Each structure stands twice: as structure tokens, then as C-alpha cells.
Structure 1
Amino acid sequence: MTISNEILTITLNPTVDFSTSAKRVRAGHKVRCDAPLRDPGGGGVNVARAIHILGGDPCAFAAVGGHMGRILLSLLEQEGVRVHPFEVHGETRESIAVIERKSGKQYRFVMPGPRWDIAQVDDALAQICAAVPRAGYVVLSGSNPPGVPDDFAARLSRKIASRDARLIVDTSTKALRLLASTPTDAPYLLRMDKSEAEELAGKPLETVTELAEFATTLVTRGVAQVIVLALGPKGSVLVTQSESWHAAAAEVPVLSKVGAGDSFVGALTLAMAQGDAPQFALQKGVAAASAAVMTDATRLCLRDEAEGLLAQCPLVQLG
């Protein structure tokens, strides 16, 4: 199969992210905050933004509604990210991140988003299928809004099969457990973090080797052709049907962990779309995640820093 370098990201539950800081956060007190920053957010939206920052030209399929939805589209337009808007009932959600300057702790408040009905789910699938680039990459990232079935990723995989596109899924909770337990209509690549992997495994996975072995069992069971496990400050593991790799994270000062995972997925997807082998795409993803934690609030990676950190994210073949 010939792969194109076109990328479509999908965000069913995007958000307008507000970030600020305060000297101290205390219950029962008015918390006086600094002037807020406002960014478009949500898994696939942030993946598209990261790809754009890194030099790609993705299209972001985003479900939007109400006044906050218009704000989201305006923010993406300002950044130069192409958007395929999908109108939903209700208001696009908001999220708030507050850094307590005294302790350095970050408090994050995330709203649920508008509820969908079955007709909206079917309409979204139809519009996504029409927008999927033939032989390109499709990234489904972020939580499902209320009303969207947990098997949405499997339905999407089945719907777009005729387009020869590679589906990358970064999800959590019930949707992730369903993908792992019922490996039909599997995505090309599935990403999860260490705690999610341990929940699926039913036991602690303390070492890189143990994590790689668990990822191998998922690939063998047909959960996905490629499994990626995010290990936070220890980097990430990638396992395919024939090999497994670990890329270590660069040692950098951490200002905010928000956006690191989305920066990883964006860099990984862009590298694969440009023809990089999986292990080198992994390395670029880890470098972008390392760059993202160096930015404050809800900011994503910066291109120069991501490229500059690549040499500090060594690759090790595990098998």
C-alpha cells in the first residue's frame, strides 16, 4: 500500500483551554489570577496544532457548537490550522488550568462537553469518511463526549477501511478497554500511558522490558499493528509485529506537562506520514514531548526545540 503524507485529525470533544496562574490556590478563598491565555484544545485539535508547528499541513475535523465553538474555530484560524467543522448541539466545552506559583502545582478543571445523539454519531462518521485522505493517516485522539458509544474507534476503523488510511488512536477509559478486549476492526496504531497499560494488564509493569512484553502481547492478539506506551519522563516504547524499541526522554526543565502527549502523537504521525521508519518516528515523538514540557501553561512543543532535542532522546532496540 502506498501511503500519502496527508493527515486528518479527529476531535469529537474539543475544548477552549484557559490557562492562568495565581500566587496560591485555597478552598473557600477568592483566588486572584493573572491574565488568562486562551488556546484551542482537545486531543486531535492539539495533535493537528503540533503537526502544523512541526511543518506539516493537517486538517482538523472538530465538533463545535455555540459561542465557544466559534471561538475555537477563530483560534485555529489564527494559528493557520485547516479545519473541517462539524456542528453539534450545545456549547463546545471549556477547560481551566491554574498554576499555583508558590508550590509550582498545576490544577486542571475539565468540563464534560455537549451530549450527542445517535443521529449525530452517524452523521459524524459519514462526514469523517468523506474527509479521510486516501492512503493517508487519520488520528482519533481525546475523550468521547457524552452519548458517543465506546466502540466509536472500531466503527470508524471499519468505515474508513476502503480508503486505505492508517488509523492512529489515542483514547482512554472504557473506549480503550473495549479496543484492547475486542480486537476487531483494529486501528493501525494504539497509544496509551503506563497506568492504562497496567490497568489492562492487571498488574504493575515496572520496567521498560515488562512494558514492551505487554505491548507485544497486544500486538500478537491483534489489538493493533503498532502499540505505543508512554512512560512520562522515561520516554516511550513502540512495538510492532517484528521489533520493539525504547526512546528515552530528554532531561529538560518541566514547566507544564499539558500538551506533551499530543505533541508526541503529532510528531510521530508526521514522521510516519513522511516515510520515517517506526523507531525514528518514535524518537521524534519523544523529542517533541520533551520540548512540550518546557513550555508553560497549555502551550505545545516548539519546532526548533523539538529538533534540537532529538539527539538527547537515544533509541534502544529491545527485541
Structure 2
Amino acid sequence: MSDILTITLNPALDISTAVDNVRPGPKLRCEAPAMSPGGGGINVSRSIHILGGSSATFVALAGETGHWVRTLLAEEGIKAIVFEAPSETRESIAVMDRSTGEQYRFVLPGPHWADTQPLIEAIAEHVKPGTLAVISGSNPPGAPDSFISDLNDRLSESGARLLVDTSGAALHYLARAERAPLYVLRMDQVETEMLAGTPLSTVRDSVDLGRKLVQDGVAEIVVLARGAEGSVMVSEDEALLVVPPKVTVRSKIGAGDSFVGAMSMALANGDTPHQAMQKGAAAAAAAVMSDETHLCRKTDYLKVLPDCIVEQID
């Protein structure tokens, strides 16, 4: 199995709680909060750990909040490689309205980065030929749109492969830049349609976009989520659709990161794309079956894995 290094540049201390009813005006009395280390790459490492794999997480932290995140990672058995962030690590808050079951998520901005080149060099020090590096989550404020492409160029020199799950301006830069291809580019449904500039009404629409990105040299493998319909994977040789099982949704937090975690673990282990997609879908389904920020549970993952159907698309 290849080494896995996840990368989180804009982590957060995730705080989740609940109230009887969310409404403006009066003080809302919350229940005792649950706290967990948050951020895309961190959650990918947490899901890998839950599913029995191992990874290290490169994370930029600072201040008392950063100390809390580091402590929580250690308590979960996640190996953290800490890089000093420019200022205090952010917090994010999820509040469930018990009267409706709806969840409200408040995400604060992270510290501003004036220079990301030292960050790139620090990450490169922790990879080797064959390492699967996974960068998940938003670019930190101040990072140039080219940051991920710059990082990919640098990691390629070390023989590492980069799997990316990002959004916004960074994603649009990746899609149009004539740079070295990523190993894997994964997008959720909202990100995919924003990139396409139009709704993708059918599976074929997603396949066509994926094929264009592969042909344009953006990535060797492109994975596009389609919500409850599943996810599409496109490479130069094939196109696949994985259809998830029908499960009771308790919280959507961490579903995408759980998908990426299981998929990354499978790819690092030498599994076929078919197996990687099936395992990713099972982890995502297990995550939505869990409350708050608990991510996937291995028992749920193993239970739904056989029910995740992968279809070849002509």
C-alpha cells in the first residue's frame, strides 16, 4: 500500500450543538457542544482511520484553537504534521433545529496567507515516490488560484500523485490551466454544475464533462458527484457510475470527505477504479447515517458496501 498524506490548509475546530427551535431575537439555549477536528483533509484522514487504514495529515494550525485541533487529532490516533499558520485557527459551528431536523452551518474564514511557497516546500518534504497526497477543502485566504497546480508541479518532481477535492476559484483555475495533470480531481454536484455553467441533468452530461476534463489534461481520473444518483468516474479508458444504497439521512456533514477517504485508501492499496468507487460510495452512505460530525462508521460501511452498484457507461 502506498503512503497517504492528507493536506488541510484551512482547518477548523468543528462545534456542533442543537436547540429546540432556531429563530431570531431571543437567546437560543444550546445543548452541550460536541467538538471535533475539522477541515477536508483532516476528515479524509479520520475516515481512513475509521475504516482501518492509515495516513498522516499535514495541517496548518495556530493559537489556542489550533492547539485544540491538534489535541483532538491525537486523541483519535491521527498522525499530524503541523505547519505554523499565520494566525489563529478558525472555528465552524453546526446547529440542529430539533423542531424541524434541519441543520444550520456557520463557517468562519481562516487566516490570511501572504506567501504560500514555504508551504509547498514543507509539504514536498513529507512525500516520496508513490505517495498519494490528498488535498481536500478550500484554499486558505490569500493563496493564489494557482496554488494547487503549483503544488502538483512540485509534488510531481518527487514522484508523488495528487488527488484534489476543492471548489471556487481554485477549481476553475485547475480546469482551464495548461499544467501537469492531477492524478484525480473530485467534485461535488454543486461544484460540477458551477464549473460547467449549466445544470447537468443526466448522467451522460456528467460523463461528457468528465471526458472533456480528462482530454484537456486536467486530471487522469475525474470523479463527479450527482447527489442521490451517485457518482460518475471518467478516465481515458472507461466511464463508471456508482449507485448508492437508499439509507436514512441523519447528517450530510462529512459525506464527501468519507467518499474521498475510502476511495483514496482503495487507490493507494492498488484496487481497481471499480472497487475504489464502490468503497467511496459505501463510506459516503455510512457518513449520512451518522449524527453530527461523526463521519462514517465501519459497521455501517461494511453493511452497505455490497449494495453499492457500479455500472459501466458506454
Sort the TM-score into its range (normalised by shorter chain).
over 0.9
> In the alignment, is residue 262 of structure 1 matched against residue 257 of structure 2?
yes
- Could you list the runs of 5+ residues in structure 2 that have no partner in the other structure? none
Among candidates 290, 297, 302, match of residue 295 of structure 1: 290
1:214 Cα shift? 1.3
**Does 2:16 match 1:5?**
no
Say what the alpha-carbon RMSD is for the aligned residues: 1.0
Cα separation, 2, equivalents of 1:307 and 1:209? 30
In structure 1, the gaps of 5 or more residues are none
Identity %: 48
**Residue 42 (structure 1) aligned with residue 66 (structure 2):** no
Provide the C-alpha distance between the structure 1 equivalents of 2:48 and 2:20, rounded to a whole number of angstroms: 34
Q: Which residue of 2 aligns with 1:71?
A: 68
Q: Shift of the alpha carbon at 1:162?
A: 2.1
1:305 to 296, 300, 303: 300
**TM-score (norm: length of structure 1):** 0.96
Counterparts of 1:198-277 in structure 2, within 5 Å, are 198-277=193-272
Task: Give the CA deviation at 1:134.
Answer: 2.2
Partner of 1:97: 94
TM-score under structure 2 length normalisation: 0.98
C-alpha separation in 1, matches of 2:48 and 2:308: 19
- C-alpha separation between the residues in 1 aligned to 2:147 and 2:32? 38
SS across alignment from 1:174: helix
Distance in 1, matches of 2:44 and 2:288, equals 15
Provide, for residues 184-210 of structure 1, a one-character-per-residue CA deviation record: whole Å limited to 9, x for no partner.
Answer: 122110011222222222222111121
Give aligned pairs, total.
314
Tell me which of 170, 174, 177 is aligned to 2:172: 177
Q: Deviations over 1:216-257 (max 9, x none)?
A: 111111110000001122211110101000111111100100
Query: Of residues 117, 120, 137 in structure 2, which corresponds to 1:125?
Result: 120
Give the structure 2 partner of residue 22 of structure 1: 19
CA distance in 2, matches of 1:98, 1:233: 24
In structure 1, C-alpha distance between the alignment counterparts of 2:270 and 2:182, rounded to whole Å: 19
1:290, CA displacement in angstroms? 0.2
Indicate conservation of the 8 Å contact 2:6/2:45, yes or no: yes
Residue 115 (1) aligns with residue 112 (2): yes
One-letter identity of the residue aligned with 1:96: I
> SS of the residue aligned with 1:114?
coil
CA contact (8 A) 2:19 2:95 kept: yes
Where in structure 1 do 4 or more consecutive aligned residues deviate above 4 Å? none
CA contact (8 A) 1:150 1:175 kept: yes
Once the 2 structures are TM-superposed, how far is the Cα of residue 183 of structure 1 from its aligned partner?
3.6
2:279 corresponds to 1:284: yes
Residue in 2 aligned with 1:60?
57
Distance in 1 of aligned mates of 2:178 and 2:307: 36
Quote the offset at 1:109 in angstroms: 0.3
Q: What is the rounded CA distance, in whole Å, between the counterparts of 1:78 and 1:197 in structure 2?
A: 35
2:236 partner amino acid: Q
1:288-312 CA-partner distances (Å, limit 9, x unpaired): 0000001111111011211211111
SS of equivalent residue, structure 2 residue 207: helix
Contact 1:155–1:185 (Cα < 8 Å) also in 2: no
**2:88 equivalent to 1:82:** no
Q: What is the alpha-carbon distance in structure 1 between the residues aligned to residue 44 and residue 38 of structure 2?
A: 9
Instruction: For 2:260 and 2:303, locate their aligned partners in 1 and report how far apart those are by CA, in whole Å.
Output: 18
Bigger shift: 258-267 or 23-32?
23-32
